[in-house]
Amino acid sequence: NRDLSAREASAEHDVERSLRPRELEEFVGQPRVREQLQLVLRGALNRGDQPDHVLFSGPPGLGKTSLAMIIAAELGAAIRVTSGPALERPGDLAAMLSNLTEGDVLFIDEIHRIARPAEEMLYLAMEDFRVDVVVGKGPGATSIPLEIAPFTLVGATTRSGALTGPLRDRFGFTAHMEFYSPSELELVLRRSSEILGVDLREDGAREIARRSRGTPRIANRLLRRVRDFAEVRADGAVTVEVARAALEVYDVDEYGLDRLDRAVLAALVKSFHGGPVGISTLAVAVGEESTTVEEVCEPYLVRAGMIARTPRGRVATAAAWQHVGVTPPPHAPG
Ligand code: ADP
How does pLDDT run across 76-90, given as a tens digit for each residue? 999 999 999 999 888
Identify the weakest region by mean pLDDT among 8-22, 54-68, 286-300, 302-316.
Answer: 8-22
Does residue 164 carry a catalytic annotation? no
* pLDDT number for residue 326: 95
Question: What pLDDT score does 4 carry?
Answer: 56
Best probe residue, ligand 1, of 62, 107, 189 (max atoms within 8 Å of C-beta):
62
C-beta of 57 in contact with ligand 1 (< 6 A) = no
Q: Say yes or no: CB of residue 19 within 6 Å of ligand 1.
A: yes
Decide: 274 in ligand 1 pocket, CB within 6 A: no
**Sorting pLDDT into bands at 50, 70 and 90, what band is 1?**
very low
- Of 217, 221, 261, 317, which residue is the catalytic one? 217
Q: Is the CB of 201 under 6 A from ligand 1?
A: no
Ligand 1, atom 12, lies closest to the CA of 217
- Asked whether the predicted pLDDT for residue 302 surpasses 60, the reply is yes
Please tell me the pTM assigned to this model. Answer: 0.92
Atom of ligand 1 nearest to the CA of 188: 25
Binding residue numbers: 19-20, 61, 64-66, 127-129, 170, 180, 217, 309, 314
Give SS3 for 326. Answer: coil
Q: How far apart are CA 111 and CA 163, in angstroms?
A: 8
**What's residue 204's pLDDT?**
98
CB of 156 shorter than 6 A to ligand 1:
yes
Residue 174 predicted with pLDDT over 90? yes
Q: Residue 269 C-alpha to ligand 1 middle, in angstroms?
A: 33
Residues 6+ apart with CB under 8 A from 297: 260, 261, 264
Instruction: Give the pLDDT of residue 138.
Output: 87
pLDDT averaged over every residue in the chain: 94
Q: Is the pLDDT of residue 5 over 70?
A: no
- Using the predicted structure, report yes or no on whether residue 106 has a pLDDT greater than 90: yes
Q: What is the ipTM of this complex?
A: 0.99
Q: Which whole number is the average pLDDT over 108-112?
A: 97
Question: Contact 93/65 with Cβ under 8 angstroms?
Answer: no
To the query of whether residue 64 is one of the catalytic residues in this protein, the response is yes
State in Å: Cα 190 to ligand 1 middle: 14
Residue 258 bears catalytic tag: no
Determine whether the shortest distance from the Cβ of 84 to ligand 1 is under 6 A: no
For 226-274, the pLDDT digits (tens) are 999 999 999 999 999 999 999 999 999 989 999 999 999 999 999 999 9
Annotated catalytic residue within 152, 158, 215, 317: 158
Alpha carbons 33 and 159: distance in angstroms, whole number: 18
* Residue 16, ligand 1, Cβ within 6 A: yes
Ligand 1 centre to CA of 29 (Å) is 11
Atom of ligand 1 nearest to the CA of 191: 25
